Structure 1
Amino acid sequence: MDVTAYIGAAAALCSTASFAPQAWKIIKTRDTASISAKTYVLTVAGFLLWMSYGWLREDWALVLPNAICFLLAGFILVMTRLPQRQKEAVADSLDPDR
């Protein structure tokens, strides 16, 4: 693998991992009050477009990380829009030990 591939892999790993702490924090605290839904609408749309672009180019290095980011950012977006009772039910199903 050349240096370009390593940089791309590192970028994909960082982008993908960047949403996991926020998603986990939401699951643990059930709090989304400080999260901008408008920002996440744009973020989710961006990941969908990048994923589609990669799919059309048959470039799985674009498709896979953007699909994971799409799912994580989409989860965060959905959680910001849910009423508190439903948010807690989702979080309880993902973290039953709380």
Structure 2
Amino acid sequence: MDIPTAIGFAAAICSTTSFAPQAWKIIKTRQTADLSLPMYVITVLGFALWLGYGAILGQWPLMLSNGLCFLLSGFILVMKLAPRRMKNRIADAVDPEAPGS
């Protein structure tokens, strides 16, 4: 594997996994009040655009990494926007053992 490809893979892994701790924290605590709604709207839009760009170019690494980032950041955005009851149902479905269950 050449250096640019290795750097690209490392960047994709970091970008994708960066949203997992926040998503898991939301599932555990059911708290999203401190999250910036405009930031997540812009982030989700950005990943959707990167996904589209990758699709237009036929670049599966762009599509895969940005598709996963879109899903994780989209989940966080949905949890931010969801009313408390729905937020609890979603979190219970993902982790029935969470304290808010």
Instruction: Bin the TM-score by the shorter chain.
Output: over 0.9
TM-score by length of 1: 0.98
Which whole-Å deviations, capped at 9, do the CAs of 1:54-91 have from their partners, x for residues lacking one? 00000011000000000000000010011111101110
The residue correspondences of 1:14-93 to structure 2 (distance < 5 A) are 14-93=14-93
The aligned length equals: 98
Compute the RMSD of aligned alpha carbons: 0.5
The sequence identity of aligned pairs, in percent, is 58
Unaligned runs of 5+ in 2: none
Instruction: Calculate the TM-score normalised by the size of structure 2.
Output: 0.95
**Unmatched 5+ residue regions in structure 1?**
none
Deviation readout 1:13-47 (Å, 9 max, x if unpaired): 00000000000000000000000111000000000
Q: Which runs of 4+ in 1 moved over 3 A?
A: none
Residue 25 of structure 1 aligns with an amino acid whose one-letter code is: K
| In structure 2, C-alpha distance between the alignment counterparts of 1:62 and 1:88, rounded to whole Å | 33
Q: Distance in 1 between matches of 2:86 and 2:60?
A: 35
CA distance in 1, matches of 2:3, 2:63: 20
